[in-house]
Amino acid sequence: MTKERETIIIIDCGSQYTQLIARRVREIGVYSEILPWDCDLETILGKNPSGVIISGGPGSVLEEDSPAVPPGLLEARLPVLGICYGMQLVAKMMGGEVRKGEFAEYGRSRVTVEDRRSALLGGLPEALDVWMSHWDYVESPPAGFRVTARSESGMIAGFENEDARISAIQFHPEVAHTAHGTDVLTNFVFKVCGCGRSWNLEDWVQSSIDVIRAMTGDGRVVCGLSGGVDSTVAAVLTSRAIGDRLECIFVNNGLLRQGEAKQVMETYDGSLGLKVHYVDAADDFLSALRGVTDPEMKRKAIGTTFIRVFERKAKEIGGASWLLQGTLYPDVIESGHKGKDAAVIKSHHNVGGLPEKMDFSVLEPLRDLFKDEVRKIGAMLGVPAGILGRHPFPGPGLAVRCLGEITPERLETLRKADAIFTSEIRASGLYDTMWQAFCVLLPVRTVGVMGDIRTYAEVIALRAVESLDGMTADWVRLPGDLLDRTARRICNEAGGANRVVYDITGKPPATIEWE
């Protein structure tokens, strides 16, 4: 949202690393935006990009109907960088030869830089340890292109044309496993595209305040505060723009964690200067969820109920024409708002779960940002560290962690178990070292024994992950004694559960939340 900002467009061909490319570009000081591979040339050029990066992807350019970019993009005089699948796509579209390999190159590999004049790879060490992930390979580059790097097996690992406007590499510079990967992206963004360091979060804050003022005019804004980072930062930012025309509503939906409603209201009554109205709507939400077990239907029911609660409260306090939400870029991406072949991973109540008819226009000032950027902005705005450091909590609350039917009894079991797990993590000094940790209650009953009594109760799954932005994640190797204490306490204190398991699945292939 900065004025006159330079933009690098990333064309998403389905890579799990596409969002990581976008983050890396922003980290080096230039705004980036992701577009689907099937968008038209007019849309791409309409963003006035300084350069374009074509991502990797799981497909093969040798297959019919595989992802492709508009032919005119490679003729538009824009700097273009193809990564992995993007390299093969550039080669094929410009007359090079791509073949199916007899073997794949996955994981760590070594690449030799052959052309020291390369604008992309020049100045880097001659040998680079990189991350490969491909089966197809470029046998010969297009006419007018020269090979800039080769892999250990002799395959072409990089090429560019004579003026270096179009370049391509077979490895992934965006991942931490690639040495000097940031240098590769830096060379492209600054040397090839000629960008300056124009993505500055301080400037973004002021520009966003101006945009919010212009968008809302004299209208009043209502915000549903959850106590989490996203909604709080969105509210403080908007308050800076429109002052007391922002009315915040904290809804106790009956799906919060243990003691959360009281804790959140005490925090908002402090130094943030927000007007917050408390609404106890637990009965409304539990009624809407009665008998619902499908996760998507849960999210839709919760989203609709939120809006109806907001509408009632907004009318009570004087009416509002705008609904403020803390939607982030990963929310938009995961809700499937991209290419025609994109799958909806899950609906977010603040993206895909809104009813078609409502009395508000939606205001989403954080929509283009990743979580780490939002935390930095929150710190600039004076949001307390206690909120900024909180682990992410889903908008639908415990409904997405209580698998199966939602009942007051099952929610109470989950609340107690989650509080126990969190307390053990905090006591071990690990809370601030991880992205997220929580419990999931499974609709699976197993036989147990407590004393001399046979039990038949449900299962609690523990989940703890490390991540930078929630787009990818790895499970945390928690100490065995911590897990042991947690399991024993849950079985003894939570009630309703007699077995505890630990989720050791990364993202991908799983999502962080279970539903």
Q: Give the residue numbers marked as catalytic.
A: 84, 172, 174
CA distance 227 to 375: 14
Which residue carries 């830089």 as its tokens?
Answer: 113
Characterize 104-118 residue by residue with b for buried, 16 or more Cβ atoms within 10 angstroms of its Cβ, and e for exposed: ebeeebbbebbbeeb
Query: What Cα–Cα distance (Å) separates residue 388 from each residue in 29, 258, 374?
Result: 23, 19, 9
- Listed in order, strand segments (DSSP E) in 55-212 are 80-83, 97-99, 105-113, 127-134, 137-140, 145-151, 156-161, 166-169
Strand order in the sheet with 322-324: 276-280, 246-252, 221-225, 322-324, 361-363
Following DSSP, what letter does each residue of 276-332 receive, concatenated?
Answer: EEEEE-HHHHHHHHTT---HHHHHHHHHHHHHHHHHHHHHHTT--SEEE----HHHH
CA distance 91 to 79: 15
SS3 category, 132: strand
